Copies of this chain bind each other. A is one copy, B any other.
Amino acid sequence: MKIVLLGAGNLAAHLSAALKNAGFEIAQIYNRSEKSARELADALHARCTTDAAQIDTDASLYLMCVSDDAIASVAGKMPPTDGLVVHTAGSVPMKILSDKFRNCGVWYPLQTFSKSRPVDFAEIPLFLEANSPENLQLLRQIAGKISKKVYEATSDERIRLHLAAVFGCNFVNCLYNVSAGIVGEAGFDFEILAPLILETARKAVASGDPGKVQTGPAVRNDTSVMQKHTELLSDRPDLPEIYTRLSKYISTSRFPDA
């Protein structure tokens, strides 16, 4: 099966490495900038191009690993093809591809990717969508070779998954950053928070339901501690409001003492 990769960023690098490990061959890489296209192509023994008109038209699968904003423009520049063209974005509907391509779909990995951190693709949930049962079947076959966790999700379900990821990853990291700032002001390094951060994540995952393992002043309705905390934040923009909103959410949610 001939595969063309569009994009050469973190996701493109990790996904293509996983495909190669599973025995697939990437024939060609298209990327706007030559340098990263060349580096990834060398690693994969693939050809590369920065000219969309030069993209092979006879591949079976076109994997778009470009930023959300770039999907429409890359799709617009691609030559016509009967191959299956899929993007990898959580919040972009499949229909962005269906006007132009007869065979299209989506392959959404629910994970955060960084250049320098290895990932175990076998454990990454992949959410697939396609414009026909045959195309879905093809995506399932390929996905099943690199991940143990393959699901089907509509465009509407996928944007909800992406929204959940914003809370469970992006906003969580933002709170880590708030914590880091507070311990820094108290004269300590961020690393003192590492055991707490890791245990909180592991505990929630092991619980199967983070609502069951909620702790802290808000779930105990310990108003005197919450009062002291918001006073400490009073000279910081946004943080008193964030503290109060999240505390209110905890105390009025479906936790036992609500």
Q: How many residues of A contact B (CB 8 A)?
A: 91
Q: CB < 8 Å: which of B173, B175, B178, B209 contacts A180?
A: B209
Question: In the complex, what residues of B have CB within 8 A of residue A206's CB?
Answer: 117
Q: Interface of chain A, helix or strand or loop or mixed?
A: helix
Are A175 and B171 closer than 8 Å at their CB atoms?
yes
A160 at the interface (CB under 8 A from B): yes
Are B195 and A232 closer than 8 Å at their CB atoms?
no
Question: In the complex, what residues of B have CB within 8 A of residue A133's CB?
Answer: none
Are A164 and B151 closer than 8 Å at their CB atoms?
no
A77 at the interface (CB under 8 A from B): no
Are A199 and B242 closer than 8 Å at their CB atoms?
no
Number of copies: 2
Tell me the bound Cα distance from A182 to B225 in angstroms.
30
Are B197 and A201 closer than 8 Å at their CB atoms?
yes
Q: CB < 8 Å: which of B192, B201, B248 contacts A151?
A: B192
* Closest chain B CB from A241 CB (angstroms): 6
Are A197 and B169 closer than 8 Å at their CB atoms?
yes
**Interface stretch among A37-45, A79-87, A212-220?**
A212-220
Tell me the bound Cα distance from A191 to B191 in angstroms.
27
Q: Which chain A residues (175-230) contact chain B, with CB distance < 8 Å?
A: 175-180, 182-183, 185-188, 190-206, 208-211, 213-219, 222, 225, 228-229
* Closest chain B CB from A258 CB (angstroms): 12
Question: In the complex, what residues of B have CB within 8 A of residue A174's CB?
Answer: 210, 214, 218, 246, 249-250, 253
A164, A182, A186, A232: residue with the most chain B Cβ atoms closer than 10 Å: A164
Q: Contact residues of A with B, CB < 8 Å?
A: 68-69, 91, 110-112, 114, 117, 119, 123-125, 149, 151, 153, 157, 159-180, 182-183, 185-188, 190-206, 208-211, 213-219, 222, 225, 228-229, 232-233, 237-239, 241-243, 245-246, 248-250, 252-253
